[in-house]
A = this chain, B = another copy of it.
Amino acid sequence: LGSHSTETAVPIPTLERLSTYLRYLLELEGDGVETVRSSELEEHTGISAAQFRKDLSYFGEFGKPGIGYYVSDLRRRIATILKLDSEQLVLLVGAGNLGSALVAYPGWEQYRLRIAAVFDNNVAKIGRRLWDLEIFDIRKMPELNRYLESRMGIIAVPAPAAQSAADMLIRSGVRAILNFAPATIRAAPDVAVRTVSFIQEMAVLSYCLWTGTPECGRP
């Protein structure tokens, strides 16, 4: 009885590119550009025009033949598809250097995301502040999230602490997790987890460097 499994599920690579389209469209919108053609998108993002149109086709029709796409309209519609059309709160675990960089990131608002609370298990940090946010004891998370009702979380703790951070997030109601620790997170299938390990990215780059592999992933 999976919610709606047979409706030609959207491939994950399509979703990843969708967020690249959104980023590019935000840029164009900021520059006051009114319309954009798929060929222009290819030039600027490296994603082929055919791929772009195919990706959009999973969600409906967005352009005008002979014209292209209205930037603001398409930007808004992609944001809606990605559920970035109303504010979502995010819980952050880990008040270290990475956590600090994440809180200070100036781009959250554009995506209607907001870090609502920061947690750590280090008593020396609990009660102090990370920028304008109080650092809470990680054990207070379930209680705090009863009224925050956040469903997204970020793990910015060292690898050995990543799984327990995930467990705590899930126990608090979070169902989508971005994990920065180089560790595998085990979670029930109803929890979406993505791991971004920059040290692993460096390893891939190292191989590409020495073997001269161009197109080392991501356009």
Q: Provide the residues of chain B in CB contact with A215, threshold 8 Å.
A: 12, 189
Tell me the complex Cα distance, A57–B193, Å.
Answer: 29
Q: Provide the residues of chain B in CB contact with A176, threshold 8 Å.
A: 205-206, 208-209, 216
Q: Given A12-B204, A192-B209, A217-B16 in contact, is the A111-B45 Cβ separation under 8 Å?
A: no
| A132 is an interface residue with CB less than 8 A from chain B | no
Closest chain B CB from A116 CB (angstroms): 14
| A6 is an interface residue with CB less than 8 A from chain B | no
Fill in one digit per residue for A71-93: 1 if any B CB lies within 8 Å of its CB, else 0.
00000000001111000101000
| A8 is an interface residue with CB less than 8 A from chain B | no
Nearest opposing residue in chain B for A81, CB measure: B207
Cβ contact within 8 Å between A202 and B16: no
Nearest opposing residue in chain B for A103, CB measure: B97
Cβ contact within 8 Å between B152 and A178: no
Cβ contact within 8 Å between B194 and A218: yes
Can you list the 6 inter-chain pairs with the closest CB atoms, starting with the nearest? A97-B101, A192-B216, A192-B208, A19-B203, A176-B209, A19-B200
Knowing that A23-B197, A176-B206, A192-B209 touch, tell me 15 more A-B residue pairs with CB under 8 angstroms. Answer: A12-B213, A15-B204, A19-B201, A84-B203, A100-B100, A100-B101, A152-B202, A177-B205, A178-B205, A180-B198, A192-B208, A192-B213, A193-B216, A194-B201, A194-B204
* A contacts, CB < 8 Å to B: 2-3, 9-10, 12, 15-16, 18-20, 22-24, 44-46, 81-84, 88, 90, 96-98, 100-102, 104-108, 111, 113, 151-152, 158-159, 175-178, 180, 182-184, 189-219
